[in-house]
Amino acid sequence: MRNVVLAVLVAVIGLIAVSASAEVNFGGDARFLAMGGAGIAATDSPRQTALMNPAALGMLPKRVRFVLPNISLRAEGANANDFIDFFTDVLTNPDNVEEDLAREFGKRDTIFDVGAATGISGSPLSLLVDAEARVRISPNAAFRQWAQTGVLPTDPTQMEAEVWIEQALAMPSLSLGFQVPKFASGKGDLWIGTRVRLVRGEYLRRTITWSGSLDPDNLLQTSNEPVKDESGLGADLGIIYRTDNPSRLSYGLVVTNLLKPDLGEIEQDTIWSIGIAMQPNSRTLLVADLVNLTQAYGDDRDLRLGVEFKPHKKIALRAGYSGEALTTGIGLFGFDFAFSNDTPLSVARTIRF
């Protein structure tokens, strides 16, 4: 009966989240994104946990396996479906992308994030390629007025929108994890790991203003600023301690950017996060993380909560709370999907724009 109640609870939270969902994640870290982004202390599936906490690599068998590609899409201020439709059009007509972005999304501040990662992993090493991109549109009040009404303001020279297009590639991202021998018997198990990343970042800024023309097709003009690129070396630290308690209680720590990559104007902060995980039975996993203890980037701390229930060994139902929104997801025969109207950022994200 208790398992039935838990399954119903997960399903109800999932339906609420999906009903408002604009964002989808597939692959590697989708499992934990479906659980509110929590899971840095989970030990039941170390290959997946290793994407967030490199210490989990020390739990893996020696054989090397392919990491299922992870694809994510995140949107703020606009519907992700509109974003997909817009970029489908851009692929067919790539001219004046910045102006088209400002026209389409100039009604409010808008951010789009796209990420992808894949590679190989095994104990004690993993090798990943991680790519991320962000588009930011920041219109001022006069530009928003025009975008919302289609009517030029009294003084069109005041119209301005900034468009930032930023991308980063970690190639490669090398992780190492191992078990500390003195914890190998009786008192629990301790694993320590690190992730070292060679990151290259590129970014450009365009300012969109009124062109002085009243022709609707030539209403805007774009500043011409050079593309900037920077490269830097970064490193993360991960720790997992698992007790010998029957509920398999475990604790985790991840320090993102313990060594901060120097990427010029793309400033990188150090983020400390802690977590706890418990498996009361073979079908259930409970996780909770406190992310960004030091409030890096001026962001608040997030308490992330998640639950996974497996009605069948090949099927998993997941739900959580990211500190901002409900999340949900499902695992089917080894494939993981996550849904939310505000996808949480992974603590292992290669770069923060």
pLDDT in tens, the chain (353 residues): 444 444 444 443 443 444 344 455 666 678 888 999 999 999 998 988 988 999 999 998 877 777 777 777 777 776 666 666 666 666 666 666 777 777 778 888 888 878 888 888 877 888 888 888 888 889 999 999 998 888 888 899 999 999 888 888 777 788 999 998 875 555 788 999 999 988 888 888 889 999 888 888 788 888 877 778 888 888 999 999 998 877 789 999 999 999 988 877 677 889 999 999 999 998 999 999 999 998 887 788 999 999 999 998 889 999 999 988 899 999 988 788 888 877 676 766 655 55
Q: What is the DSSP letter of 46?
A: H
Instruction: Identify the pLDDT of residue 141.
Output: 92
Residues pairing with 193 in the sheet: 177, 238
pLDDT digits over 293-329, tens only?
A: 988 877 889 999 999 999 988 899 999 999 888 999 9
Q: pLDDT tens for residues 332-349?
A: 887 888 888 776 767 666
Q: What is the pLDDT of residue 111?
A: 82
Residue 95 has a pLDDT of 65
State residue 142 phi and psi, 5-degree precision.
-65, -40
Amino acid 254: pLDDT = 96
Task: Say if residue 95 is exposed, middle or buried (CB neighbours under 10 Å; 0-12, 13-18, 19+).
Answer: exposed
d(CA 20, CA 109): 20
Helix (H) or strand (E) holding 11: helix 2-19
pLDDT at 316: 93
Q: Is 292 left (phi over 0), alpha (psi -120 to 50) or beta?
A: left
Asked if omega into 124 is within 30° of 0 (cis), the reply is: yes
What pLDDT is stored for residue 89 in this prediction?
A: 60
User: How many Å apart are CA 238 and CA 42, to the nearest integer?
Assistant: 12
The total number of residues shown for the chain amounts to 353
Torsion of CA 81, 86, 91, 92, to 10 degrees: 120
Q: Which two tokens stand for residue 64?
A: 């090397």
Q: Does pTM top 0.85 for this prediction?
A: no
Nearest to 203 by CA among 246, 250, 156, 163: 163
pLDDT number for residue 25: 64
Report the C-alpha gap between 286 and 319 in whole angstroms: 10
**C-beta atoms surrounding 8 within 10 Å:** 12
Predicted confidence at residue 2, as pLDDT, reads 45
Helix-helix angle 97-105:80-92, to 10 degrees: 150
User: What residue type is 166 in one-letter code?
Assistant: E
Q: Are 252 and 276 contacting, i.e. CB atoms less than 8 angstroms apart?
A: yes
Residue located via tokens 């999907």: 337
pLDDT at position 15 is: 39
